[in-house]
Structure 1
Amino acid sequence: MNKSMKDLVADARSRVDGIAPADAHRAMAQGDVILDVRETAELKSDGAIEGAIHIPRGLVEAQADPETGKANEALAAKRDGTGRVHVLCASGARAALAADSLRQMGYDTAVIEGGLAGWKDAGLPLRA
Structure 2
Amino acid sequence: MKDLVAEAKGRVATVSPEHAATSEGSATLVLDVREPGELETHGRVPDALHVPRGLVESRADATAQTAETRLTDLRDTGCVHVLCGSGARAALAADTLRAMGYQARVIEGGFEAWKAKGLPVET
Specify the structure having the higher radius of gyration (Cα).
1
Aligned residue among 95, 104, 108 for 1:100: 95
Q: CA offsets, 1:53-108, max 9 Å, x none?
A: 00000000000001111100000000132x10000000100000000000000000
Aligned residue in 2 for 1:44: 40
Residues 46, 120 of structure 2: 8 Å contact kept = yes
Please show how residues 1-128 of structure 1 align to structure 2 within 5 Å: 5-27=1-23, 29-31=24-26, 32-81=28-77, 83-128=78-123
Identical positions, percent: 52
Letter matched to residue 31 of structure 2:
L
Task: Write the deviation string for residues 14-65 of structure 1: whole angstroms up to 9, x where unpaired.
Answer: 00001100000111x2331000000000000000000000000000000000
Structure 1: gaps of 5 or more residues: none
After TM superposition, which residue ranges in structure 1, 4 or more long, deviate above 2 angstroms?
A: none
Q: CA RMSD in A?
A: 0.7
- Where does structure 2 lack aligned partners over 5 or more consecutive residues? none
Aligned equivalents of 1:6 and 1:112: distance in 2? 18
TM-score, normalisation: structure 1:
0.93
Corresponding pairs, count: 122
Q: Which amino acid aligns with 1:40?
A: P
